Structure formats: C-alpha cells, structure tokens
Chain A
Amino acid sequence: MLSRVANSLYWLSRYMERCDGILRLLRVNYAYSQDDFEQFSWRPVLMIFSDMDAKNIADVKHEGRKVLQYMITDRLNKNSVFNLVSKSRENARSVQENVTKELWQCLNDYYHKVRLNDIATSLQKEDPVSVIDDLVQQGMHYYGTCEITMARGEGYYFMNIGKYLERAIQSVDILNVKFSELNYSLEERSDPTYWKYLLLSISGYEIFLKSYRSALDSRNILHQIVWNEHFPRSIMYSVRRLKQSFETLKSDRNGEAYKAISFMIGKLESSIKYSDLKDLESKGLQEYLQEIKQDLLAIGHAFNHYYFAFN
C-alpha cells in the first residue's frame, strides 16, 4: 500500500475516533450541567480537546451553549466536530479508491450534515442532545460501515491502528484531567455524581456497575479505565487491539520497521499488564499516566517515521 494512502487512512480513522469521543463527552457533560449547575464546569472537556488558554476557559466554563457551539460547529477550533469530520472526509477523498464506496458515502454524508447551518441554530435554541445524538448516530453508521464493508487488508488495519491509538490517548487524557481536578489523590472524596458522569462520558457506567458492584470508588474507576480488558475504552483493551492490528502488517519486506514498533507496543503492553494499583500509587498517578501517554505518542511518531514518510 502507498505510504501516503496508509497515512491518510490512519488519520481518517483517528479523526473519526476523536470526533466520537468528543461527542459522547459533550452529550454527557451537557446532561451533567443540567443536573448540577453549581459544581459543574466545562473546564475538563476544554482542557482535553481544545487549545483554549486558561483565561478563555475560565470565561466560558459555565456557558454550555457557547462551549457546544465551539466544540461542534466552530470553524476556527481545529478539534471541532465540523473540522474533524471535514478532515476525515478530506483524507477519505484523497484515498477514495482505497475505502469502499459505502464508507466514502457515509463520510461524505456526515460531512454534508455537519455543514448544515441548522446545526448551529439548533445548538443555540433547541435541545442540543438531539443534535448530538444525530451526529453520534452518523458516527456509528461510519463504524458499522467500516466493519461490514472494508476488506481485511492493510488499509483496514492501518485504520484500526489509528482508531485504537487515538482511543488509548483519549482515555489517558480523560483520566488525567478528571484526576487533576482532585490533585491526583485517590483518597479525595468526591461526589458520586462526579464519577458517574466520568463513566457515562466514556460509555462505561453500565459495565462498571456489572463488574464492580460497589460504590463509585476512585480505585475501581481507575482499574476499569486502565486495566479492564472487557471495557472497550480501557487503555489495556485499546493497546491490545492496537497490537493485534499491527501484527497483521508483518511481512518480509519491512522487517526493520516491524521490529522497532513491535518492540514499543510490546513494552507498553507489558508495562501496563504487569503493574497494578499498588505500583501506580507508589509511582504516583500523574507520572504513571504521563509515561503511558508518552509511550503512545512515541508509537505514533514511529508509524510516521517507518511507515508513512518513506523516502
């Protein structure tokens, strides 16, 4: 496969994953903001997914509609849903013959949908959850189309690599921001609503109730998001899937590249797998998360170097 094509597919998929993550986060946070307007702040969302500086964040952190507008339709915010979908579709367009016609049409439809002006109007004046739901559904349509129509070849696996790398990074970021509000302390007692909405925002609430059957305890929450292999947004799960997708790329013709990245992913997987809450506490949560994030970013760079920037 052309390096350029692999690169476009990888980014197409990363942008869509990010878009999905953002939309779910917005939806839940909006609901949260209606529940608990005194405690609630949009700060974590803006910290994770925007370039806004502290001052701007302070200005809008209680202005739900403004934040939604900024995160969904703003043309200047490079992580707005509008821009993510546009970039994803632009990537698809430049490799159109490498994705199925169905997938292209799905992204193209999504693109035309986010361009509609009524989205901005509805976000301001009507029920924003309906708007977000509609967009999330279009995203699920994308995931389904991808699973059902894409050939299990290099292209599909590069898309999966992008997807799971992005997902792992998001999960780390969400933990990071949420715990930074508590100064990374696992002892800090927080309102159960706080944790409930954290789980809801990554679609992990129901799994949590089934797996842990206990109060919303910060340690259990960490366990679920870092280690729980049954939770499709846990870091462990994402890294495992990243590894599986990557292993399909093994071939005689790119031994060096394969070895280098295989080593990095394997090392990261082991370091998560063979650590537990105790190790995490002795190292400090902040540092633990920081290391994972750095490893994930390094893997991204290695793909750039070995697979996408062939010279």
Chain B
Amino acid sequence: MDSSTLFNNYPISNEFYDEMYNKNEIRPSYKKLYDFLRNFPAEELTKKEEMARRLFMSQGVTFTVYSGDEGIEKIFPFDVIPRIITAAEWAYIESGIKQRLKALNHFLNDIYSNQFIIKDKIMPIDMIYSCEHYLREMHNLKVPHDIFVHISGIDIIRDFDGTFYVLEDNLRTPSGVSYMLENREITKRIFPDLLPQNNVRTVTQYPQILYKNLAALSPRHNSNPNIVMLTPGIYNSAYFEHSTLARLMGIELVEGRDLVVDNHRVFMKTTEGLQRVDVIYRRVDDEYLDPLVFNSDSMLGVAGLMSAYRKGHVTIVNAPGNGVADDKAIYIYVPDMIKYYLNEEPILKNVPTYKMEDVSERKHVFENIEKMVIKKTNGSGGYGMIIGNSATEQEIDDYKKVVLEDPRQFIAQPIISLSAAPCYIDGKLQPRRIDLRPFALFGPSGIEIVPGGLTRVALKEGSLVVNSSQGGGSKDTWVLSV
C-alpha cells in the first residue's frame, strides 16, 4: 500500500473481484489512472465531484421526484472515478452479447411463428403461455428485416473470480444510454486530457448508429423518412433520456396525444396539418401502446397503432412482445437457444438459475435460502426480490408464501458477489460493487455495440443492489483500445 491520502487504507478483499487491484498489485489497465490519482489531493477531487454535480444540475440531467405540487430535481449519483475495461475483456463481452442477441432474436421470430423450439422439445410450451409478456397479437406478424430486438441493454456482472456472467437480458425499452453519453461528457470536463492519455474509445457515435438503423427500417422507401420517439411524457423518470436521444438524433419527440391513426397509417399533428410517421422508437411499454388492443385505459398510446403496424405501414422499435424473451424464467433457456439456433457454444455464461415452479429445485432453494436471491420473473429496478443473507426470517417466510401462490412467476439464483471498483466516497477511495450494461444496436446491417456502457454502482457499503431506485449510482465506463 502507499501513503497517498486517496488510496490510504483501500481494503483489499478476497470476497470479491476488485477491478483495480489484483491482490496488492494495480492491474495494468488501471496503472495510468492510478498514477494520475495518487498525486491528486483529496480536496481537488471533492471539487471535481462538486463540479460534476453542478454540471448535471445545470444541464438538467435529472429526474423529478414529485412530492405534492412541487417537483424536486434529483441527479442520478455519479462517481467521478471511471471504470475501466480492457480491450481483451471488451472483445469477449462484445462477441458474447452479439451471439446472445442473435439467438434471442431467432427465438422471438420462432416463438411468434412456427415455434420449432417447442416442437423440438427444447423448451416446454407452458413456459411461453404462462409468460404475461407473451403477446398473441404478435403471432404471425412479419416484422421488418426479422428484427425484434433493435435496442438492448444486457446486464453483465463478474463473480469473485472475475468470470463474466449475464445477469439479465433487457430487450424491451432498456434505459440508461443517455447516462453513458453524459457521464463521458462530464469526464471530459472534470479530467481534461485523461481520456486520450488512456486510449479510451469513444461512445459518441451511438445516436448516429441508432438513427441510421431507424431510418433503414422505414416502410416507405423515401430518402427522408419521418422518425419519431414516443415518450410517456415529462413525468416519466427517464424523460431526460428521451429528450436527449431525440435531440441527438434530430428526430421529433412525441407523446401519444400527438399521434393519430387514419386508414391504418400513423400521423402526427403539426402546425401544418397531419404528417405521416414511418418509424416509432417508443419508450412506452407494450401494454400502453394501443388502447384498442392492450390496456384500454392507457392515455399514453395511440388508438389503432397496432393495426397500422400489422399492415406494415409503420415500424415500431423495439417490436412489441419482446418481454417473452427477457423473462427471467425464459432466461434459463438462453444457452440452449444459442446451441439450437446457432449451433454454437455460449460465450457468456448464465448465472445458475432455479425454477421455483420445479418442486425439487424449489426445495433446494428454500433449504439454502441464505445463499440465494429470489426474484420475480418480470420484475425490474431491484423491486420484488429478496436476498437470502440480508433479509430477516420474517421477510423470508412472507416471501415464501408469495412464491408458493404462483411459483411460475419466480426464479432463484445463488448470490453472486459482484466485482468492485474504486469509488470516491467520504474523501477517500473505497471499493463498491458494480455491474455493466452495454447497449447493443441491431439493424438491418448487423449488430453494433458502442465500446462502453453504463456501469452502475451500489454506493452503500457491502450492498449488491446497483439499481438507481435502491441507492445506486453510475460511473463513466472506459473501454481501452489497447
């Protein structure tokens, strides 16, 4: 250990993989950053932190929490110390995600048409029909270029030995990419010149790639298709992201009330009358998309949208019905899908997962509950889960009862310890647990993943929950080119 204040007493632990330290050695990828930081006075870093906070606030990179009539602006906590991924690690993650996405996309095409995977007995049929995100309305609907999963955010974690695992596949309307972009902009400001010195690959091309893909999906073959982004509106916690992406792509940000369907075609209401819409990048969930087909109370969607989609007059991105592929019980079958559809061995591993529906697996889970996490198959945001070693006996008993009511809705996984990266907390660097969400874009010309992603961090000491709703923050994520 050295005597610089920032690294003073940085605890080295064997219980988790530390991204910066290999035992007492600094990993080569972190060497330059380490050298930069060790001469850095803590007060200066506190100033940088304050500067970052101010920049986020002033740019409105915030979400609003409403209490009473007045909204309070909050920023998603940002840790100034970047997380570093080596070129080799990235190549591995990238190839693993591409492979996985290809298989999942094959699965969606298959499950909404011939269902060979069921006929060939790779997966039992009740897995599908018991999944509440399976949409009958998508059956035999030919989606443009056979792409369902245009945008995905597959969550990657590392166990204590550094092995990468896929924690979950987010294939519906994954969010967080604006933070990937904003965090990088902030790093440029608070640590001038540090990015080029470290050979960090850029992420700024993301909106252009997405735009190119969206334009290529237009049902009308004109040179200037009308692409819109559909948002639930300013009260949505991800609204900042919606407006940022719309701005960066130069497309119109619309709400449901701005659109109308006439003769199976979608139009937006403008100051010059109705204008035809070709592609909708929607950030509204399936069940709110079209009150005529799904939730009839929905004010967020557009009546008649699904019929226009079915007729091929408009493209919806991501395709509706993807929830069947990122269901946490279907997740168990993804390695089998990779073998079945691609005839390849899975590159990225699944976390071992137990079906609570299965009597013997459930018994095993309940008997080893202190080593297990039980989750809802359709849950997200860190809600609806229980971590066996940090819950009280009463909480566990209550949870068991809920599980037994409808076991199909639950899975269990052994507690993965999650790797840790140094964070600047209380004037010194301390390890905190992290995950990684790279954003993959699947267009007619293939899958592209910008080198980077959103690193979420559990800011509470010892916590394994990185979700922003549960006290998580984020970091800039550096993928090195060499």
**A residues lining the B interface (CB < 8 Å):** 1-6, 75, 90, 93-97, 101, 104-105, 108-109, 112, 154, 158, 249, 251, 253-254, 307-308, 310-311
Judging by beta carbons under 8 Å apart, are A1 and B270 in contact? yes
User: Given that A2-B258, A4-B258 are contacting pairs, would A310 and B269 also be in contact in the complex, using a CB cutoff of 8 Å?
Assistant: yes
**B residues lining the A interface (CB < 8 Å):** 57-60, 70, 73, 233-234, 239, 243-244, 246-247, 251-255, 257-258, 268-273
Cβ-defined partner of B273 (8 Å) among A90, A101, A253: A253
5 further A-B contacts with Cβ under 8 Å, apart from A2-B258, A3-B270, A4-B257, are A96-B247, A97-B246, A97-B252, A310-B270, A310-B271
CA distance A308 to B258 in the complex (A): 11
Judging by beta carbons under 8 Å apart, are B247 and A3 in contact? no
Q: 7 shortest A-B CB distances, which residue pairs? A: A97-B247, A96-B243, A253-B272, A97-B246, A310-B269, A108-B60, A94-B234
Look across to chain A and name the residue whose beta carbon is closest to the beta carbon of B73. Answer: A112
Q: Can you list 14 contacts pairing A with B, beta carbon distance less than 8 Å?
A: A2-B252, A2-B268, A4-B257, A75-B70, A93-B60, A96-B247, A96-B253, A97-B244, A97-B246, A97-B251, A104-B60, A308-B271, A310-B270, A311-B269
User: Given that A93-B234, A97-B246, A97-B253 are contacting pairs, would A1 and B59 also be in contact in the complex, using a CB cutoff of 8 Å?
Assistant: no
CA distance A4 to B247 in the complex (A): 17
Judging by beta carbons under 8 Å apart, are B271 and A109 in contact? no
Q: Which residues of A contact B253 (CB under 8 A)?
A: 95-97
CB of A302, distance to nearest CB on chain B (Å): 13
Look across to chain A and name the residue whose beta carbon is closest to the beta carbon of B253. Answer: A97
Judging by beta carbons under 8 Å apart, are A109 and B58 in contact? yes
Judging by beta carbons under 8 Å apart, are A6 and B70 in contact? no
CA distance A154 to B257 in the complex (A): 21
CA distance A4 to B57 in the complex (A): 26
Q: Which residues of A contact B247 (CB under 8 A)?
A: 96-97, 101
CB of A244, distance to nearest CB on chain B (Å): 17
Q: Which residues of A contact B233 (CB under 8 A)?
A: 94
Q: Which residues of B contact A101 (CB under 8 A)?
A: 59, 247
Q: Which residues of B contact A154 (CB under 8 A)?
A: 271
User: Given that A2-B258, A96-B247 are contacting pairs, would A108 and B272 also be in contact in the complex, using a CB cutoff of 8 Å?
Assistant: no
Cβ-defined partner of B258 (8 Å) among A3, A97, A158: A3
**Max count, chain A CB within 10 A of own CB: residue among B60, B239, B253:** B60
CB of A9, distance to nearest CB on chain B (Å): 10
Judging by beta carbons under 8 Å apart, are A307 and B271 in contact? yes
User: Given that A97-B246, A101-B247 are contacting pairs, would A254 and B58 also be in contact in the complex, using a CB cutoff of 8 Å?
Assistant: no
CA distance A249 to B60 in the complex (A): 31
Q: Which residues of A contact B60 (CB under 8 A)?
A: 93, 96, 104-105, 108
CB of B128, distance to nearest CB on chain A (Å): 39
CA distance A112 to B273 in the complex (A): 37
**Max count, chain B CB within 10 A of own CB: residue among A2, A108, A254:** A2
Judging by beta carbons under 8 Å apart, are A251 and B272 in contact? yes
CB of A162, distance to nearest CB on chain B (Å): 14
Q: Which residues of A contact B270 (CB under 8 A)?
A: 1-3, 310
Look across to chain B and name the residue whose beta carbon is closest to the beta carbon of A252. Answer: B272
CB of A296, distance to nearest CB on chain B (Å): 20
CB of B318, distance to nearest CB on chain A (Å): 21
Judging by beta carbons under 8 Å apart, are A2 and B234 in contact? no
Judging by beta carbons under 8 Å apart, are B271 and A90 in contact? no
Q: Which residues of B contact A253 (CB under 8 A)?
A: 272-273
Look across to chain B and name the residue whose beta carbon is closest to the beta carbon of A251. Answer: B272
Judging by beta carbons under 8 Å apart, are B59 and A105 in contact? yes
Judging by beta carbons under 8 Å apart, are B234 and A6 in contact? no
Judging by beta carbons under 8 Å apart, are A310 and B273 in contact? yes
Judging by beta carbons under 8 Å apart, are A3 and B70 in contact? no
Judging by beta carbons under 8 Å apart, are A254 and B243 in contact? no
Q: Which residues of A contact B271 (CB under 8 A)?
A: 1-3, 6, 154, 158, 249, 254, 307-308, 310
Q: Which residues of A contact B59 (CB under 8 A)?
A: 101, 104-105, 108
**Max count, chain B CB within 10 A of own CB: residue among A5, A307, A308:** A5
Q: Which residues of A contact B257 (CB under 8 A)?
A: 4
CB of A151, distance to nearest CB on chain B (Å): 11
Look across to chain B and name the residue whose beta carbon is closest to the beta carbon of A96. Answer: B243
Look across to chain B and name the residue whose beta carbon is closest to the beta carbon of A7. Answer: B271
Judging by beta carbons under 8 Å apart, are B234 and A90 in contact? yes
Judging by beta carbons under 8 Å apart, are B58 and A2 in contact? no
Look across to chain A and name the residue whose beta carbon is closest to the beta carbon of B228. Answer: A2
Look across to chain B and name the residue whose beta carbon is closest to the beta carbon of A104. Answer: B60
Q: Which residues of A contact B239 (CB under 8 A)?
A: 93
Judging by beta carbons under 8 Å apart, are A112 and B269 in contact? no
Look across to chain A and name the residue whose beta carbon is closest to the beta carbon of B249. Answer: A97
CA distance A90 to B60 in the complex (A): 11
CB of A156, distance to nearest CB on chain B (Å): 13
CA distance A101 to B59 in the complex (A): 8
CB of B339, distance to nearest CB on chain A (Å): 43
Q: Which residues of A contact B272 (CB under 8 A)?
A: 1, 251, 253-254
CA distance A81 to B325 in the complex (A): 50
CA distance A94 to B71 in the complex (A): 14
Cβ-defined partner of B269 (8 Å) among A3, A75, A94, A158: A3
Q: Which residues of A contact B57 (CB under 8 A)?
A: 108, 112
Q: Which residues of B contact A308 (CB under 8 A)?
A: 271
CA distance A95 to B246 in the complex (A): 10
Q: Which residues of B contact A158 (CB under 8 A)?
A: 271
Q: Which residues of A contact B273 (CB under 8 A)?
A: 253-254, 310
User: Given that A1-B270, A310-B271 are contacting pairs, would A105 and B58 also be in contact in the complex, using a CB cutoff of 8 Å?
Assistant: yes
Judging by beta carbons under 8 Å apart, are A2 and B269 in contact? yes
Q: Which residues of B contact A109 (CB under 8 A)?
A: 58
Q: Which residues of B contact A93 (CB under 8 A)?
A: 60, 234, 239, 243
CA distance A108 to B243 in the complex (A): 15
CB of B204, distance to nearest CB on chain A (Å): 15
Q: Which residues of A contact B234 (CB under 8 A)?
A: 90, 93-94
CA distance A251 to B251 in the complex (A): 22
CA distance A109 to B60 in the complex (A): 9
CB of A77, distance to nearest CB on chain B (Å): 14
Look across to chain B and name the residue whose beta carbon is closest to the beta carbon of A309. Answer: B269
Q: Which residues of A contact B254 (CB under 8 A)?
A: 2
CB of A85, distance to nearest CB on chain B (Å): 13
CB of B224, distance to nearest CB on chain A (Å): 16
Q: Which residues of B contact A112 (CB under 8 A)?
A: 57-58, 73
CB of A21, distance to nearest CB on chain B (Å): 25
CA distance A116 to B79 in the complex (A): 26
Q: Which residues of A contact B73 (CB under 8 A)?
A: 112
CB of B267, distance to nearest CB on chain A (Å): 10
CA distance A3 to B270 in the complex (A): 5
CB of A307, distance to nearest CB on chain B (Å): 5
Judging by beta carbons under 8 Å apart, are A97 and B243 in contact? yes
Q: Which residues of A contact B269 (CB under 8 A)?
A: 2-4, 310-311
CB of B328, distance to nearest CB on chain A (Å): 34
CA distance A90 to B271 in the complex (A): 21
Q: Which residues of B contact A251 (CB under 8 A)?
A: 272
CB of B64, distance to nearest CB on chain A (Å): 9
Q: Which residues of B contact A90 (CB under 8 A)?
A: 234
